[in-house]
Each structure stands twice: as C-alpha cells, then as structure tokens.
Amino acid sequence: MDFTTQMDAAKKEIVTKEMKVVSQKEDMDVEILRGLVAEGKIVIPANKNHKSLDAQGVGQGLKTKINVNLGISKDCADIDMELEKVRTAIEMKAEAIMDLSSYGKTEEFRKRIVEMCSGMIGTVPIYDAVGFYDKELKDISPEEFLAVVEKHAKDGVDFMTIHAGINRETAKVFKRNKRLTNIVSRGGSLLYAWMELNNKENPFYEYYDKVLDICASYDVTISLGDACRPGSINDSTDASQIKELITLGELTKRAWEKSVQVIVEGPGHMALNEIAANMQLEKKLCHGAPFYVLGPLVTDIAPGYDHITSAIGGAVAAANGADFLCYVTPAEHLRLPNLEDMKEGIIASKIAAHAADVSNNIKGAREWDYKMSEARKELNWKKMFILSIDPEKARRYRKESTPEHEDSCTMCGKMCAVRNMNKVMEGKNINILRED
C-alpha cells in the first residue's frame, strides 16, 4: 500500500477502492471527490481493520449522513439487545453507528459490531477507560488514555471522538464565563474533571501528535469532540463554545498536516435563529472540515419528544452546512433508548437529512420527492409505500383504516381532491354521492 490514509492517498492522486464506492453512491466524479478528500472537505472513514465496511463519504456536496448512538451501560447491560439495535439501524439505512458503551469490558461488544456492521463505526475511547483499567478516573495516566485510543483503532473503528479542545486555556474561559448547564458533554466533563483533579493539561491535547500517529496508522478519522457544546439554549454561542471551536480549527490543521481525516463536532442545544450562523462560523474557523451536529435541539422543554426538537434543528443545520447528523431519540434526557425509540430517532433524523438535501439540491433528493408526488397523483398506494421513508408504518396505517373505495383514504373518501381532479382533467363527471 502506497498510502497511509484516504487523505494521504488523495494528496498523492491515488483513487482508492473506497473513493470509487463513494463516487458511485453519490453520483460524483471520482476526481472531484478525490480532490475534496485531499482538501479535508470530505472524509471517508475507513479503518484498515474494518473488513465488513461499505464505505460512506461525509462532507461537501454529498448526501447528509446520520449516526445512531447505542451501547451498554451499567443499568442496561444487555449486549444482545444492543446488537439487535445495530442490525435494525443498518436495515433502516443509517450510515453510521457509534458505540457509546460505558460499562465493564466493552471489547467483546465492539469487536462484534466491527465484524457485523457495514456502516461506519465510531467510539469515544474515554468512556471505556475507567472500565478498561478498572481504575477511578483520577488515577488513569495519559499513557493509559492513549493506549485505549490505540486499542479501539486496532479493533477496527472508523472514527473516534477525541475531546482535545477542552485544554487548560479553554477551561479558564469556561470558569470566567458562567453557564446555566455547565459542561454537558459526557467525555468533556470527564476530561475537565481529570484536569482539575490532577492539575494537569488534557492528555489528548498535550499528546495530540501521538493521537494523530495512532489514527494515521489505522486510518481512523478523528472526530474532534465539542466538550463545551451548549446543554441549553441559554448557553449557546457563548464564550466557552466559541473558544473551543477556535482550538478545534487549529487542531484540524495539525491533523491534516499528518493526513489524518477530521470531522468537527458541534452543538447541542440552540435557538432556531442561531443555527445558520453557527454552521457558517464552524466552516470558517475549521477550514471547511465536515461538521457533525447533535441536533441541534431547538427548545429545552420537550422531554419525550426530543427526536422532534432535534429534527427541526438538524434540518436547518444541514441546510446551512452541517454534513452529519447525530440522531436523537424520544428517550433523550430520560433513559437509554429501546428499539422503538431508536427507530423513531432514525426516521426523524433521516427526514431532517433529506429535507436539507432537497434544500441544497443534492443529486437525487428532489427526484425522490417527484416520484412520490407522481405516485400520489396516480393514487398508486403500492408505489407510495415503496417510496416511503418508513414503508412499514405507511402500510400499517393504510391497513388499520381501510376505505370503502380503493382510490381514496378514510380522511376524504370520495371527496378526495386528487381523485376528483384526475376525473375532471380527464373530462369525466364526479360521483361523490352516486355509486357508479
């Protein structure tokens, strides 16, 4: 192999097999794709040890991708259930899975996902560190943190969230600028605590070059975590968030110097009117790197419905530059999502992603809507179901409430506007009361 990473190959004008796959999926000229990978504006997360991967691209000019979070916790340590979620998520065409397991020895679960999952796989190594070493957070050394990163890379994960932007300088800004909800990033809060307890620099920032060397060895895409993402709309676009974002931009350039692919993570909770500006700010400060957002959730008052608050924000974010949406389920802020929660979260996120793709004139997006509208005009239910983003639900709803006449539904019956316009446009009479 004459290259280390997809980015390194692109810089050397080598077209990889993964680039060819993405080029076909996206209907993008492979040389244009290669050029954007070389610039860091598109990433193709593809660990050399992830043999079951069906490569995906994330970034400029590509379809908006979605990620599904899952994993075991102390209170819900059912590996089989989480594997069922993985299978279902892939069947539902989610492009990425993040294993956020935070309890016990996670290696078995992670390896099984890598073996079976064709989607991109991500992890957050710091979640695993406490269980991996069976040590309290304070007692874990920088070398041990780095060893967990290497272990995950060796196991085959395609991208890793590394919270390197919450350094001592960012922490000082956070302390000077009080927040309503402090730090809500799980990984970010752990690193902040470690720094405070040990009076030391964030090991992922201090030894960032070593992290990059690990990523380059296995072609792991680094997902620069936003430890200071807002946990409430009150805290959005504040000093801590922007300070960290500036640091993430600097870290992006350092990664590119070593041909390591980069995704930048973003908010969080944010009022609707701030989203577009935040997307533009990230693209500017982080030099066009792909942007990965959690939501944003546009209001804080909807526990049980945060897949909706997230989808609203995600659609606006992706229409204004975000490239990758992390799904949010109805269980957000309440509990570990079950299988049904996950399905609802995926569908909501996919709707948001597609709505943005339509807005951005991504190839094939409007055509899908055109075909659906055509099927509706024809009252072709079978075709509508096939084209639905959730065919199972569409079929079930139709079956649960069967109309008297096949060319209508139980909402309008024979007053159906589509049915009657078709008849009139064909020069036929309309029979609302008659049975002819």
Domains, the chain, in order of start with CATH, read: 45-359 (3.20.20.540), 365-425 (no CATH)
Cα 275 from chain centroid (whole Å): 17
Q: 401 by DSSP, 3-state: which?
A: coil
* Confidence tier at 339 by pLDDT (50, 70, 90): very high
Is the model's pLDDT at 107 over the cut of 90? no
* Confidence tier at 427 by pLDDT (50, 70, 90): very high
Tell me what pLDDT residue 418 has. Answer: 92
pLDDT in tens, 16-72: 999 999 999 999 999 999 999 999 999 999 999 999 999 999 999 999 999 999 988
Give the residue-averaged pLDDT of 231-258: 98
* Confidence tier at 10 by pLDDT (50, 70, 90): very high
Q: Which residue has the higher pLDDT, 77 or 232?
A: 232
Q: 120 by DSSP, 3-state: which?
A: strand
Distance (Å, whole) CA 212 – CA 119: 23
Least Cα distance to 64 among 270, 350, 312, 388 occurs for 350
Is the model's pLDDT at 434 over the cut of 80? no
Give the residue-averaged pLDDT of 256-264: 98
pLDDT in tens, 189-227: 999 999 999 999 999 999 999 999 999 999 999 999 999
Tell me what pLDDT residue 250 has. Answer: 98
Segment of 61-70, 104-113, 398-407 carrying the highest mean pLDDT: 61-70
* Confidence tier at 435 by pLDDT (50, 70, 90): confident
Cα 402 from chain centroid (whole Å): 37
| Cβ contacts of 89 within 8 Å, gap of 6 or more | 68, 70, 97, 119, 342, 346
Distance (Å, whole) CA 149 – CA 187: 13
Q: Take residue 256 and report the two structure tokens written for it.
A: 């590119």
* Confidence tier at 413 by pLDDT (50, 70, 90): confident
Tell me what pLDDT residue 22 has. Answer: 98
* Confidence tier at 113 by pLDDT (50, 70, 90): very high
**Whether 285 contacts 246, CB under 8 Å:** yes
Of all residues in the chain, the percent with pLDDT exceeding 70 is 99
Is the model's pLDDT at 1 over the cut of 80? no
Question: For the stretch 264-295, what's the b/e string if a residue is b when 16 or more beta carbons lie within 10 angstroms of its beta carbon?
Answer: bbbbbbbeeebbeebbebbbebbbbbbbbbbb
Distance (Å, whole) CA 118 – CA 46: 11
Is-above-0.85 flag for pTM?
yes
Give the residue-averaged pLDDT of 348-372: 98
